[in-house]
């Protein structure tokens, strides 16, 4: 199954080279279990040991030049039409392949701005320029960041199917948790129940286990990246959770909310209900703005303006991020043009992007309301991959 | 406990800077959970998110300039006397720290030859040279490979203690396995018994689980890096295992041998006994040559010559490698001067190195004899950390 995904991504890579007018993409690595290039997860799905060159040509060429002992594993991926093993040095097969491809530009796996496109180490850059010295290709190296960013961001059908499964599992876990929630439980106890559900399914959390799930019970618990603590659920308070699983190599990332009904209450009180509606409307305003061709900051601005217009403060983070192999799997952020986001809010949204939409507000004396759903960008807009939580769940 | 190790390694790093006459060592990283610099395991024990600069000065300075959200975690390691968090850009605190240190050379985390010293990505090298442009430090960058190689290779007392514990656990697992061995068991079944012992102790294998343990039953099973298969133990045959565990962050790497007594045999037959003695004597010849000041290839040559002199073929690999945090944890190889080992056999042995000693030979119609022990290089020679197997264990 991994192999099918690798083939999908390699086909996509060739199309991206054609679209961007780049002749050849070279991924140059060694000992990737020590220093791992995140690109390999997209185009190979294996670790490589000796110096290795993975060349993709805009004509569809897929040439892997790897240490002799790695050749069988690379062949078995089914994605590389030419697998060349070497014993002594990759210089000759590399130069030979470049001569055949004769590229006007060689896009290489380095980037100043995108860590996910920056797997080439500086030592290996020196090795590469040494190998190419005296050839015409030495002066043709460019950054592959545009290729890698597009390849990572545009999910294939196989990738979307896996993300959907991770989301469905996450929703199952929320459904299993809800009937077990009671007033008086601590964040730590609730996190333990969630972790047990993850473990029982043989899965891993979507991000660092200390912060997955994030659990916030009541108004004294601060959202953001803090580990679950001793705050306890209480009648009249909110419970907030930010959580996802990693399944078959792909993640989900969702926030869900519960309200503990107070004596005599049949539903959430007005302050909770109003804040919920404002957050939901703001998120939907973001989703309405999310379509191919817009820049990330425009989507964020739509949601941000809606929340502020409803009388709530601006949220202090971005509206959304890519997700896929990790909880931040792509180069564009749906965020404000603040310096800390660098160039990422200026990225242009494309079909196939899978993004989160997330925002929230504190309700005084109740707790934090945070909404987060996962959506797929299609040609015409953005559709939910998750089953959106339209109302707070009452306990 | 990790913090104590980090402090030991940082103290050691300062001493290495003084010894090598280098003023400052800079480790420059970002988003290390995506592209991990192996150095961080030695000097930090954490992941870092935003652009981060870890500066160690020969005067004992330990300055960490990290994103604001990482400052508490870095402070909690106890190893960094100055932890500077930033919000917008690390340029100003970095240039300020360099001005204070005023180094004649800044050794940076890149290396053409040693992947474990090559965690700086090329994009981050461009970022760094951009930050330093117009300062005197731009022209003072050198490779930190000599510092990192020494720091990784020379184990501290805390590191040696952990390696000893991993070895002791491995020997316990061999002892638990031996009474359960019978003729007719497959390599896969035997590997499963070993894996169950590892799991019962809450540990991980020392290297990739597919190949840990490597199990070879009888003459049809090839040693080397192949997964356990369907070959079965049989009377008159050898059983060979290459195995280690990872415990508290450190590994063991040992080979052990069993012989299945044939009808009427009270001990191993002459062909097995002679081959065993030749291998054991060759390994001991290597150990006798292993002391501070010799080059790796000299140690290998001593063992290799002893085995050939006893009438057995040369082994087709190196005699030994560093071990510690991984099964290959240092820059020197005790290996022949073959091109595929590059410069690594020319490394000079130092006190504190923990190395494997391993060699073997096939015994026709019996199987493969492979010996491997773990040793610590002291001022005067090399002492066993493992309890060496002096005789094949008979079943």
Summarised one tens digit per residue, pLDDT across range A169-190 is 999 999 999 999 999 999 999 9
Closest CB from A34, A37, A118 relative to B124: A118
The last residue of a domain, from among A127, A152, A177:
A152
Residues A89 and A196 in one domain: no
Residues A198 and A130 in one domain: no
Residue B252: per-residue pLDDT? 97
B162 touches A at CB < 8 Å = no
Spatial distance between the Cα atoms of B152 and B13, rounded to a whole number of angstroms? 10
Is residue B373 within 8 Å of B320, Cβ to Cβ? no
Spatial distance between the Cα atoms of B191 and B232, rounded to a whole number of angstroms? 12
Residue B1: per-residue pLDDT? 39
Closest CB from A30, A87, A121 relative to B122: A121
Taking residues A99-104, what's their average pLDDT? 97
Determine, for residues B125 and A126 on separate chains, whether the beta-carbon distance falls below 8 Å. Answer: no
The dihedral built from the CA positions of residue A105, A110, A113 and A116, taken in this order, carries a sign that is: positive
Determine, for residues B143 and A125 on separate chains, whether the beta-carbon distance falls below 8 Å. Answer: no
Spatial distance between the Cα atoms of A394 and A235, rounded to a whole number of angstroms? 10
Is residue A237 within 8 Å of A325, Cβ to Cβ? no
Write the DSSP assignment of B335-350 as a string of letters.
----GGGTTGGGPBP-
Total tally of structural domains belonging to chain B: 2
Determine, for residues B126 and A110 on separate chains, whether the beta-carbon distance falls below 8 Å. Answer: yes
Residues A249 and A389 in one domain: yes
What phi-psi label fits residue A14: left (phi over 0), alpha (psi between -120 and 50 degrees) or beta?
Answer: alpha
Residues B163 and B50 in one domain: no
Residue A86, CA distances (Å) to A27, A54, A71, B366 in order: 17, 13, 9, 33
Spatial distance between the Cα atoms of B190 and B217, rounded to a whole number of angstroms? 10
Q: Is this prediction's ipTM beyond 0.90?
A: no
The last residue of a domain, from among B128, B152, B176:
B152
- In chain A, residues 349-388 whose CB comes closer than 8 Å to chain B: none
Using only the alpha carbons of chain A, give its radius of gyration: 24
Q: Which of A294-308, A313-327, B279-293 shows the lowest per-residue confidence on average (mean pLDDT)?
A: A313-327
Q: Could you identify the residue written with the tokens 């000992």? A: A31
A87 touches B at CB < 8 Å = yes
Cα nearest neighbour of A50 on chain B:
B340
We report the CATH number of the domain holding residue A163 as: 3.90.230.10
* Mutate: best of A32, A48, A118, partner B, most B CBs <10 A: A118
Spatial distance between the Cα atoms of A181 and A238, rounded to a whole number of angstroms? 12
Residue B392: per-residue pLDDT? 97
Residue A150: per-residue pLDDT? 94
Residue A119, CA distances (Å) to A37, A49, A141, A371 in order: 4, 15, 15, 34
Determine, for residues B123 and A110 on separate chains, whether the beta-carbon distance falls below 8 Å. Answer: yes
Residue A225: per-residue pLDDT? 61
Residue B26: per-residue pLDDT? 98
Residues A238 and A348 in one domain: yes
Tell me: cis bond preceding A213? Omega within 30 of 0 counts: yes
Spatial distance between the Cα atoms of B274 and A306, rounded to a whole number of angstroms? 84
Residue A62, CA distances (Å) to A67, A78, B57, B135 in order: 16, 11, 46, 43
B124 touches A at CB < 8 Å = yes
Q: Would you tell me the crossing angle of helices A2-20 and A157-177 to the nearest 10 degrees?
A: 130
The 10 Å CB-count burial string (b at 16+, else e) for B138-173 is eebbebbbbbbbbbbbbbbebbbebbbebbebbeeb
Q: Are strands B62-67 and B52-57 parallel, antiparallel or unpaired?
A: antiparallel
**Chain A: nearest CA to B226, how far in angstroms?**
11
B116 touches A at CB < 8 Å = yes
Taking residues A107-116, what's their average pLDDT? 94
pLDDT band at A37 (very low <50, low <70, confident <90, very high): very high
Per-residue pLDDT tens digits for A59-69: 999 999 999 88
Percentage of chain A modeled with pLDDT above 90: 87
Which residues of chain B neighbour A114 with C-beta distances below 8 Å? 123
B199 touches A at CB < 8 Å = no
Determine, for residues B121 and A116 on separate chains, whether the beta-carbon distance falls below 8 Å. Answer: no
Which residues of chain B neighbour A35 with C-beta distances below 8 Å? 35-38, 115, 118-119
Residues A140 and A165 in one domain: no
Taking residues A365-378, what's their average pLDDT? 97
Per-residue pLDDT tens digits for A280-306: 999 999 999 999 999 999 999 999 999
Spatial distance between the Cα atoms of A42 and B376, rounded to a whole number of angstroms? 41
Is residue B242 within 8 Å of B222, Cβ to Cβ? no
The 10 Å Cβ neighbour count of residue A142 is 14
Residue A210: per-residue pLDDT? 85
Mean pLDDT over each residue of chain A, to the nearest integer:
94
Residue B211: per-residue pLDDT? 86
* Mutate: best of B123, B227, B333, partner A, most A CBs <10 A: B123
Determine, for residues B125 and A125 on separate chains, whether the beta-carbon distance falls below 8 Å. Answer: yes
Cα nearest neighbour of B207 on chain A:
A33
The 10 Å Cβ neighbour count of residue A298 is 18
- In chain A, residues 259-318 whose CB comes closer than 8 Å to chain B: none
Taking residues B258-284, what's their average pLDDT? 97
We report the CATH number of the domain holding residue A131 as: 3.40.350.10
Write the DSSP assignment of A16-49 as a string of letters.
HHHHHT--EEEEEES-TTTS--TTHHHHT-S---
What residues does A86 pair with on adjacent strands? A67
User: Is A224 a residue whose pLDDT tops 90?
Assistant: no
What residues does A358 pair with on adjacent strands? A372
Residues B67 and B207 in one domain: no
Q: Supply φ then ψ for residue A200, to 5 degrees.
A: -65, -25
Residues B81 and B168 in one domain: no
The dihedral built from the CA positions of residue B317, B322, B328 and B333, taken in this order, carries a sign that is: negative
Spatial distance between the Cα atoms of B333 and B345, rounded to a whole number of angstroms? 5
Residues 6+ apart with CB under 8 A from A80: A10, A54, A62, A63, A64, A74
Is residue B39 within 8 Å of B49, Cβ to Cβ? no
Closest CB from B34, B115, B127 relative to A34: B115
Q: Could you identify the residue written with the tokens 């850059």? A: A125
Determine, for residues A115 and B34 on separate chains, whether the beta-carbon distance falls below 8 Å. Answer: yes
Burial of B233 (0-12, 13-18, 19+ CB in 10 A): buried
User: Is B2 a residue whose pLDDT tops 60?
Assistant: no
User: Is A16 a residue whose pLDDT tops 80?
Assistant: yes
Is residue A242 within 8 Å of A356, Cβ to Cβ? no
Cα nearest neighbour of A122 on chain B:
B122
User: Is B45 a residue whose pLDDT tops 70?
Assistant: yes
**Chain A: nearest CA to B167, how far in angstroms?**
23
What tokens were used for A128? 């590469």
Residues B162 and B261 in one domain: yes
B185 touches A at CB < 8 Å = no
Closest CB from B117, B121, B326 relative to A119: B121
The count of residues in chain A is 395
* Mutate: best of A39, A50, A89, A123, partner B, most B CBs <10 A: A123
A338 touches B at CB < 8 Å = no
The last residue of a domain, from among A152, A169, A197:
A152
Which structural domain, as residue segments, surrounds residue B51? 2-152
Determine, for residues B112 and A123 on separate chains, whether the beta-carbon distance falls below 8 Å. Answer: yes
Write the DSSP assignment of A74-116 as a string of letters.
HHHTS--SEEEEESS-SHHHHHHHHHHH--S-EEES--SS-GG
Runs of H (alpha helix) within chain B: 2-20, 39-43, 71-76, 91-101, 122-132, 145-153, 157-177, 187-200, 270-289, 296-309
User: Is B224 a residue whose pLDDT tops 70?
Assistant: no
Q: Could you identify the residue written with the tokens 């409803």? A: A310
Taking residues A240-255, what's their average pLDDT? 96
Residues A229 and A365 in one domain: yes
Residue A1: per-residue pLDDT? 39
Spatial distance between the Cα atoms of A197 and A191, rounded to a whole number of angstroms? 10
Write the DSSP assignment of A325-379 as a string of letters.
SSSS-SS-EE--S-GGGTTGGGPBP-TT-EEEEEEEEEETTTEEEEEEEEEEE-S
Which residues of chain A neighbour B68 with C-beta distances below 8 Å? none
Using only the alpha carbons of chain B, give its radius of gyration: 24
Spatial distance between the Cα atoms of A365 and A271, rounded to a whole number of angstroms? 10
> What is the number of CB-based contacts under 8 A between chain A and chain B?
94
Q: Could you identify the residue written with the tokens 């009937």? A: A179
Residue A42: per-residue pLDDT? 95
* Mutate: best of A115, A149, A325, A327, partner B, most B CBs <10 A: A115
Residues B211 and B327 in one domain: yes
Residue A17, CA distances (Å) to A60, A114, A297 in order: 9, 18, 27
Is residue A354 within 8 Å of A375, Cβ to Cβ? yes
Cα nearest neighbour of A35 on chain B:
B36
- In chain A, residues 206-235 whose CB comes closer than 8 Å to chain B: 208, 225
Is residue B207 within 8 Å of B190, Cβ to Cβ? no
Residues A159 and A269 in one domain: yes
The 10 Å Cβ neighbour count of residue A4 is 12
Determine, for residues B124 and A113 on separate chains, whether the beta-carbon distance falls below 8 Å. Answer: no
Entry pTM:
0.86
Taking residues B287-299, what's their average pLDDT? 98
């Amino acid at each position: 199954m991994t192999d099918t995904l690798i083939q999908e991504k390699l086909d996509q890579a060739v199309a991206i080279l054609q679209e961007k007018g780049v002749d050849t993409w070279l991924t140059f690595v060694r000992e990737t279990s020590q220093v791992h290039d995140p690109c390999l997860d997209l185009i190979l799905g294996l670790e490589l040991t000796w110096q290795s060159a993975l060349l993709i040509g805009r004509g569809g060429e897929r040439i892997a030049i790897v240490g002799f002992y790695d050749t069988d594993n690379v062949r078995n991926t089914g994605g590389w039409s030419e697998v060349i093993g070497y014993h002594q040095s990759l210089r000759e097969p590399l130069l030979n392949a470049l001569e055949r491809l004769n590229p006007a530009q060689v896009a290489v796996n380095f980037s100043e701005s995108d860590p996910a496109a920056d797997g080439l180490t500086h030592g290996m850059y020196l090795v590469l320029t040494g190998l190419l010295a005296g050839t015409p290709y030495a002066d043709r190296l460019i950054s592959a960041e545009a290729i890698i960013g597009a390849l990572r961001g545009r999910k294939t059908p196989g990738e979307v199917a896996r993300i959907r499964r991770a989301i469905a599992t996450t929703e199952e876990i929320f459904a299993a948790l809800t009937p077990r929630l009671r007033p008086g439980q601590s964040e730590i106890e609730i996190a333990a129940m969630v972790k047990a559900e993850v473990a029982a399914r043989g899965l891993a959390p979507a991000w660092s286990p200390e912060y997955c799930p994030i659990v916030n019970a009541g108004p004294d618990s601060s959202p953001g990246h803090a580990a679950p603590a001793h705050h306890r659920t209480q009648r009249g308070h909110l419970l907030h959770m930010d959580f996802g699983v990693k399944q078959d190599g792909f993640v989900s990332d969702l926030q869900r909310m519960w309200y503990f009904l107070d004596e005599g209450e049949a539903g959430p009180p007005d302050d909770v209900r109003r804040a919920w509606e404002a957050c939901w409307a703001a998120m939907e305003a973001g989703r309405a703005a999310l379509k191919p061709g817009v820049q990330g900051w425009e989507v964020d601005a739509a949601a941000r303006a809606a929340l502020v217009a409803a009388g709530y403060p601006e949220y202090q983070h971005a509206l959304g991020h890519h997700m896929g192999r990790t909880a931040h799997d792509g180069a564009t952020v749906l965020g404000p043009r603040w310096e800390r986001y660098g160039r990422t809010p200026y990225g242009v949204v494309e079909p196939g992007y899978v993004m989160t939409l997330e925002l929230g507000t504190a309700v005084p004396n109740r707790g934090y309301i945070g909404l987060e759903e996962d959506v797929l960008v299609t040609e015409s807009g953005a559709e939910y991959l998750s089953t959106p939580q339209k109302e707070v769940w009452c306990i």
